Amino acid sequence: ATTLGASAAESGRYFGAAVSNQYLSEAAYANTLAAEFNSVVAENSMKWDATEPNPGQFNFSGGDQLVNWAQARGMKVRGHTLVWHAQQPGWVQNLTGQNLRNAMLNHIAGVANHYEGDVFAWDVVNEAFEWDGSRRQSNLQQQLGNGWIEEAFRAADAADPTARLCYNDYGTDAINAKSTAIYNMVRDFKSRGVPIDCVGFQTHIAANENLSSYQANLQRFADLGVDVEITELDVGQGSGQAATYETVTRACMAVARCTGITVWGVTDKYSWRDDNPLLFDGNYQKKAAYHTVLAAL
C-alpha cells in the first residue's frame, strides 16, 4: 500500500497521529492527516484540564470535534489520557485525601462514559513511574497511596467495558529499571484480575537512541497477555532519524501483539519538540523517515 495507514492495516494494525484541532482548518494539515493516517489521538483536548475545567462540569467540545472529524473519514480514535500528574486543572491540584480520590474516580467515570464506543483504547494512567522504577511522587501517589493506579483502571473498566485500557509511559524503550517496574505492576494486575489490556510506549527518543532491547521489551510485556502500542513516537533530527524510525516500526511489526503506532504530530511545523522529529517536514513533504517507516510496515 502507498500510505502509512493502509500499509499498517494490511497486518491489522493502525498508524495514527496526535492532532490539535486548531490545525484541522489548514488544508495541507487536514489532507495529509486524512490521506496518510487511519487513527488519531487528541494532543491535548481529552486531558483533565480540557475536559473538566471546573469540578463536575465537563467540556467535551474539543474531543468531540476531533472524534466527529475522524469518524467522518473512517479513522479510529485513541483516548489520551484519563489520569496524569500534568495538565490537571487548578482545582484538582489543591485536593487532598478522599476528595482527590472522589475527583479522580468521578473524572474517569465522566470522560470514559462519554467516549464509550468512540475510542478503541484509553491511556488510563500516564507517566506514574520514575527512571529508577519508583513511583512518581505526584499528588495522586502522595494523597492516595500505591493503590491509586489499580483504582483508576477499575473505574475505567466500569465506565467503559469495551475500550482497551492501557498504562502509558516514556523512558520505557529498553529493558531498564523503569520498564521493569511497570512490567512487574502489569504482571501483578494480570495475576489478580485488575482490568488492564495494553501498555503504551510513548517512544519520545533521539536519533541515536540505543534500541538494542526495544523489541525484546515489547515482547516481554506481550508475553504477560497484554497488547502493546507505540503511542507517541517522535525521533529527534540527526543522521540516524530515518533508521531509528525504521527500527521502532520493525519491532512493532515483529511483535504479534503490537497493535499499532501513533506518531506525536503530523508535521514538524507543529511538533511539541523543536528538533524536527516527525515524518513530514514543515512543508508537508515526506522525509526520509517517512519512506523507511512505509517500507517497514
- Enzyme catalytic residues: 232
Distance of CA 175 to the CA centre of its chain: 19
CA distance 137 to 118: 32
* Cell (9 digits) for 296: 517497514
CB atoms < 10 A from the CB of 241, how many?
25
The rounded distance, in Å, linking the Cα atoms of 285 and 297 is 19
User: Does residue 51 bind ligand XIL (CB under 6 A)?
Assistant: no
Q: Please, which of residues 99-138 interact with ligand XIL by CB under 6 A?
A: 126
Nearest approach in angstroms of CB 7 to ligand XIL is 25
Query: Does 45 engage in binding with ligand XIL (CB under 6 A)?
Result: no
Instruction: Candidates 202, 203, 217, 292: give the one binding ligand XIL (CB under 6 A).
Output: 202
The 3-state secondary structure of 148-194, one letter per residue: HHHHHHHHHHHHCCCCEEEEEECCCCCCCHHHHHHHHHHHHHHHHCC
How many of the other CB atoms lie within 10 Å of CB of 215? 18
Nearer to ligand XIL, 40 or 297 (CB): 40
Query: Least distance in Å: CB of 126 to ligand XIL?
Result: 5
Is residue 43 a contact point for ligand XIL (CB under 6 A)? yes
CB of 197 to ligand XIL, least distance (A): 18
- Considering the rule CB under 6 A, would residue 272 count as an interface residue with ligand XIL? yes
Minimum CB separation of residue 18 from ligand XIL in Å reads 7
Chain length of the chain: 297
- Can residue 234 be called a binding residue for ligand XIL (CB under 6 A)? no
Binding of residue 203 to ligand XIL (CB under 6 A):
no
Q: Is 44 in the site for ligand XIL (CB under 6 A)?
A: yes
CA 251 to chain centre: 17
- Which residues contribute to the site for ligand XIL (CB under 6 A)? 43-44, 126, 202, 232, 272
